[in-house]
Structures are given as C-alpha cells and as structure tokens.
Chains A and B, each alone.
Chain A
C-alpha cells in the first residue's frame, strides 16, 4: 500500500498514486461484480426454473411458444395441491424424515463418543484407527451398494426404509467422527485436567465440558449428517421399490413420473418441497454449514 508520510512533497505524489490505485481497484471491483453476476445466474438457473415451472398451469407448461423462463399467465398452486392430495409425496416425506432423524441420532452418538476417545484419551491403535476412519470416509457408496444389496437382502430388509437407517451411517459416521476429532483436539488440555482433579469421570468430562465447548462443531456435524441422509440417492435407488417405502429423492425422481406424460409442473413442485428442508437449514445456519464443509480438509 502507499504510505502517507508526514512531509508535504511526498504526500502529493503519494495521493496521486493512491488515486490511480483507487481507480484500478474500483475497476477491479466492477469487473468482479460483473463476473459474479454471470456465475450467480449460472448457479441459480435450476432452482429458479424449478420455482417458475411449479407455479405454471399445465397448459402454459405444454404451450411451446410461450416463454418458459417467465410466468406470463399468472401463477397457480394447483401442482402443490395435486402433489399433496393425489400422490404419495407425503409418505415419502414422512419416510425420509424418520430415516434422517434416526441416522442423525445414531451418527452423532457414535461419532461423538468415538471422537472424544480418539482425540483425547488415546489407546493402543487409536492413531491407526483415526487414519482408518478418514480412509473409510473416502470409500464411495457406489463401491459398496452391490455387496450391501446382498447383505440387506440377507437380513430381509430389502424394500424397507429401515434398511436406510442401517446403511446411511456408512456415509455419515466417518466424516462426522473425523471433524469431531479436530474440534475436540482443539480444546485446551487444562480443562480436562481441572475436571480430573475435581474427580469427574470420563463420561462426565464429555457431557459437561467437551460437548458444550465443542457445540459449534457438533452443530456443523449434525447439519452435515442431516443433509447427507436427506439427499442420499444410491442406496434407496438400489434397495427400495414400493411406493410406501420410498424416500423423497427416489420417490420424486422415479415414482411421481407417471405413464408417458411428464407432469413437469408437479415434478418441479415436488423437487422444490423435497429440497426445502436442507435449504432452510442452510439459510439459517450457513456459517456452521460452511465450517463443517471446510473442516474435513483442515482439521485432524
């Protein structure tokens, strides 16, 4: 930066340099905004188009010459009504909610316990285990769904959403444990020493000190877990098929598409409602969401 010095002659020169710098900066800023708007349009086209289509009448959607990007004939909530009244959408919603809540609870209990133990207490092999957890996080669901299909079938859980409660933790537990290890290790050692001296046992240390102090991390992990289970697609696509067991992602994509006629207005209304819970959580807890996202590569 240009330094504004005390003497008068250099100050004149400095301000001139500063002026051109400011002009340069303003140009850079304007250009930044221009390009950001272009990228934002690209990123927001699909959600925008979802909303527009879901509010159009069937006639307008089918009409070829009307502008698909605009609502030119007013809007209607007809599609939302059909979706909720005449389809199994609410069943999918309920199934997804049950599965997600169960998976979040299981994941958080398992990973907080494990992260506390791995990050703080150490035992024989704990270092290797922590590395192993990170590696299992990198194993994708598309590598596991075929053997898991066999296993789920063997357990008699094929075409039951409870199978999702069983298999989704493979998507959530490793990452949540990994980021919780990071959060727990960042808590100063003095805290647990103080608790030790007061005679707290390990469980009390966890519930009274570590969980309250690492609450931001726990919220971030919970949000991650929620969005992953809400959006999971490979496992339900492979393991579920009847309408009363489907979850939102698969139900909307496969089951709402009836016969040969795509009811795009209703499909988009369904996609919109199905995407709403993660979007709402994101809107309110964005900072936690982002903290969880970036923690995987920086902590541990």
Chain B
C-alpha cells in the first residue's frame, strides 16, 4: 500500500496502485466500506429494538400460556378493567403535571443562572444539575426515606411548625403528589441545562434592538427570548414527555403502584402483570398502550431537531 506515515502531508502522494483482487476492490469502494462500518449498529438495532418491538405486538395477541392466538382480546380485557383505566388516567396526570412543572422550574432557574455574573454561573449550574447525575433509583430511595411513615424528615419540620404530619405515601393523593414531586426534582435540571444553552445562543443584538425600542425585561422575554427558544422548548418538552410517560424507577421504588393501585403508571403496571404475575402477553399489551403517545411525540421532536439543526448551521 501507499505511504501513510504522514497522512496530513499536503503534497500529493502518487496515486494508489490499482487493486489486485475483487475483494480488495470491493473494500476500496466507499459505499461498501461505509455499509460494513454500519453493520454492527444495524445488527444491534434490528435485533434488540425493532425485533423486540414487533415481537411485543405479536406477544400481545397471545393468551397467558402463550399457546393460543387471541387477537385483540388482551386489549379488550384491559379496557374493561377499572384498574387499567385508572392507570391510563394516572399516567396522563403524572406525565403532564410533571413535565409542566419541570419546564417551568427549568425556565425560571435557567433565567436566574443566566442573570448571574459569568464567573459564578459555572458553579451554580454544576450544583443545580446534581439531581440529574445521581442514578434515579438511588435518589428515589433517599426520597422514600424522606417520606418514611414514622420518621419522615418533612413531617419533623411540619410538626415543628405545629402542623399535622402527612402520610406522604400512605394517602393515595399524597402518594400521587410525592411521585410527581420526585419526578420534577429529577427532571427540572435537564430543562435548566437545555434552556441555559438555548439562552446563550440568542444573539445579543436582538436584546439591544429591543432595548432601543423601549422594551422592558418582560417584553424582551415575550418578544425575543421565547420566539428564539420556541423550538428548543418544544423539543425538550416532547422528549421529557416520552421519558416521563415511560418512567418506572420512581413509582416502582416508592409505592410499587399502591396505595389502592392509585399511583401505577404504564411501566409499573406492565411490570406487575408481565413479570411479577407472569402474564407476559398482558404485560406487553399494557406497555404497547404507550406507543401512540410516543410515536406522535417522536415525529414532532424529529421535525424540531431538524429545524434546529438548520438554524444553527
């Protein structure tokens, strides 16, 4: 082969001699090399994502022993059960409320950090991202301990101020509040980071122009910041919606769906039916209910990401 010890040498080296064998020629063809480099990825995605996704649809049409084809009976069965309808409802409440608060807190904290002198921003950003860095299962464990029925550290504070202790995970409504709170705690820093990056990418001239036109801080936010960030907000919200809808760790560890099944979301209910109770087809059917919301969000995210890619460069 040719000399490659100085690949960056600018003087043109003599052209490579013609390939001798057919295999060699094939290897030198750009597109076949490219395809070969992609092959491991294609194998992984096909066998571990696409195939299981299809297999899941197949599984959902079987009976519990996986011996008989039952068509859509599993879905029909689920839709008739009150518990499942509550799961759908709770998943929606959980995801929508959590994403809303994450987005709000993220937006507020991103602006606050952006207000600081440039020197201190790094430190604050580093501190505020900690919830996102701790593995969720482990931080949820410490939240569980904070919500402990007899030793709750929050109740200690409430009682110190003369209030009544709260059954954080014992009362179904407080339990719903608690799992959402933990999700907001975990996800808000992600929004903060995304928004902060977006805020930095808004050209300074736009703010100067707005100031010359006499816009106050709020008007600048509404007429400059928001339109410039609209795309990134949409991407982050939709992405977070998917992740939150599919969340498993928080509910599984803190309540395992209880009390009275009122905190179950799709993932934990699918786990309960599919793995714990061994009815794999039914579990697969439950998790497939997530599919429509995921597909719709995914299409919009893709559109947003492409648009942002063009805007940036």
A positions within 8 Å CB-CB of B: 1, 28-29, 32-33, 35-36, 39-40, 42-47, 49-50, 53, 61-62, 64, 67-69, 109-111, 113-114, 116-118, 121-124, 126, 129, 131-136, 138-151, 166-167, 169-170, 173-174, 177, 186, 191, 194-195, 197-202, 204-205, 208-209, 227, 230-231, 233-234, 237-238, 248-250, 252-253, 262, 264, 267-268, 271, 274-275, 278-279, 282-283, 286, 289-290, 293-294, 297-300
B55 contacts A45, CB within 8 Å?
Answer: no
A43 contacts B127, CB within 8 Å?
Answer: yes
A237 contacts B271, CB within 8 Å?
Answer: yes
B positions within 8 Å CB-CB of A: 1-4, 6-10, 12-16, 28, 30-35, 37-38, 40-42, 44-45, 48-53, 55-56, 59, 105, 108-109, 112-113, 115-117, 122, 124-143, 145-146, 148, 150-151, 153, 156-157, 185, 188-190, 193-194, 197, 208, 211, 232, 235-236, 239, 242-243, 245-249, 252-253, 266-267, 270-271, 274-275, 280, 283-284, 287-288, 290-291, 294, 297-298, 301-302, 304-305, 308-309, 312-313
Give the complex CA separation of A130 and B100 in angstroms. 30
Q: Which residues of B contact A148 (CB under 8 A)?
A: 48, 52
In the complex formed, the residue of A with least CB distance to B311 is A298
In the complex formed, the residue of B with least CB distance to A195 is B7
- 17 cross-chain CB contacts under 8 A: A29-B117, A40-B128, A43-B189, A44-B130, A46-B131, A49-B145, A68-B156, A123-B31, A126-B38, A143-B288, A144-B53, A147-B53, A166-B48, A194-B8, A267-B145, A279-B133, A290-B193
A286 contacts B126, CB within 8 Å?
Answer: yes
B112 contacts A199, CB within 8 Å?
Answer: no
Q: Which residues of B contact A113 (CB under 8 A)?
A: 37-38, 40-41
A143 contacts B309, CB within 8 Å?
Answer: no
Give the complex CA separation of A67 and B248 in angstroms. 32
Instruction: Give which listed residue, A1, A47, A166, A250, contacts B137 with CB less than 8 A.
Output: A250
Q: Which residues of B contact A253 (CB under 8 A)?
A: 137-138, 140-141, 253
A-B contact count (CB 8 A): 339
Beyond A69-B156, A290-B193, A294-B193, is A136–B142 a contact (Cβ under 8 Å)?
Answer: no
Instruction: Give which listed residue, A44, A169, A293, contacts B44 with CB less than 8 A.
Output: A169
Q: Which residues of B contact A294 (CB under 8 A)?
A: 193-194, 197
Q: Which residues of B contact A191 (CB under 8 A)?
A: 8
Beyond A138-B297, A143-B288, is A298–B280 a contact (Cβ under 8 Å)?
Answer: no
A174 contacts B45, CB within 8 Å?
Answer: yes
Distance (Å) between the CB of A37 and the closest chain B CB? 10
Beyond A1-B208, A147-B284, is A42–B138 a contact (Cβ under 8 Å)?
Answer: no
Beyond A39-B105, A147-B56, is A249–B4 a contact (Cβ under 8 Å)?
Answer: no
Give the complex CA separation of A191 and B301 in angstroms. 32
B7 contacts A209, CB within 8 Å?
Answer: yes
In the complex formed, the residue of B with least CB distance to A238 is B275
Instruction: Give which listed residue, B55, B140, B197, contacts A150 with CB less than 8 A.
Output: B55
A136 contacts B49, CB within 8 Å?
Answer: yes
Distance (Å) between the CB of B16 and the closest chain A CB? 5
A50 contacts B142, CB within 8 Å?
Answer: yes
B284 contacts A1, CB within 8 Å?
Answer: no
Instruction: Give which listed residue, A142, A231, A298, contacts B266 with CB less than 8 A.
Output: A142
Give the complex CA separation of A80 and B236 in angstroms. 39
Distance (Å) between the CB of A44 and the closest chain B CB? 6
Beyond A69-B153, A135-B298, A278-B135, is A43–B128 a contact (Cβ under 8 Å)?
Answer: yes
Instruction: Give which listed residue, A122, A133, A139, A147, contacts B55 with CB less than 8 A.
Output: A147
Distance (Å) between the CB of A99 and the closest chain B CB? 13
Beyond A39-B128, A43-B189, A279-B133, is A146–B56 a contact (Cβ under 8 Å)?
Answer: yes
Instruction: Give which listed residue, A36, A199, A230, A262, contacts B135 with CB less than 8 A.
Output: A230
Q: Which residues of B contact A116 (CB under 8 A)?
A: 37
Beyond A129-B38, A140-B243, A298-B309, is A195–B8 a contact (Cβ under 8 Å)?
Answer: yes
Beyond A35-B112, A64-B151, is A143–B4 a contact (Cβ under 8 Å)?
Answer: no
A143 contacts B185, CB within 8 Å?
Answer: no
Give the complex CA separation of A132 and B42 in angstroms. 10
A47 contacts B6, CB within 8 Å?
Answer: no
